[in-house]
Amino acid sequence: EDQVTQSPEALRLQEGESSSLNCSYTVSGLRGLFWYRQDPGKGPEFLFTLYSAGEEKEKERLKATLTKKESFLHITAPKPEDSATYLCAVQAVGSSNTGKLIFGQGTTLQVKP
């Protein structure tokens, strides 16, 4: 069964304290791995897509990396405005036509000033 597990569930950081969020997945052939950011009361906002092991994507203080079993979202020198829930999702090769995604439960990040 295709599955996505994110850890930790919650993370508290001081402003400027770098850290990483983990997304472990089991899927019958990975078509793509997606990272989203979700602010309270809002819909998820797309951040990155990764397709193959070794791939990296960056956006401001965020960098996403991918291996054959997991993805990491590295947050460098975070600011309070980076506080949000970060969601990871995978698309299996068999779902390429439908675009169906399997989501993890998310990591809620709080960055204190």
Report if residue 60 touches another protein, rule: CB under 8 A.
Answer: no
Minimum CB distance to another protein, residue 14 (Å): 26
Report if residue 54 touches another protein, rule: CB under 8 A.
Answer: no
Kindly tell me which of 5 and 18 has the beta carbon lying closer to another protein. Answer: 5
DSSP string covering 65-110: EE-SSEEEEEE-S--GGG-EEEEEEEEEGGGTTTT--EE---EEEE
Kindly tell me which of 14 and 98 has the beta carbon lying closer to another protein. Answer: 98
3, 28, 67, 105: residue in contact with another protein (rule CB under 8 A) = 105
- Alpha-carbon torsion (36, 93, 52, 70), positive or negative: positive
The whole-angstrom distance between residue 79's C-alpha and the CA centroid of its chain comes to: 18
Please name the amino acid found at residue 8.
Answer: P
Choices 11-19, 20-28, 34-42, 69-77 (CB under 8 A): range interacting with another protein:
34-42
Report if residue 100 touches another protein, rule: CB under 8 A.
Answer: yes
Report if residue 84 touches another protein, rule: CB under 8 A.
Answer: no
The whole-angstrom distance between residue 34's C-alpha and the CA centroid of its chain comes to: 7
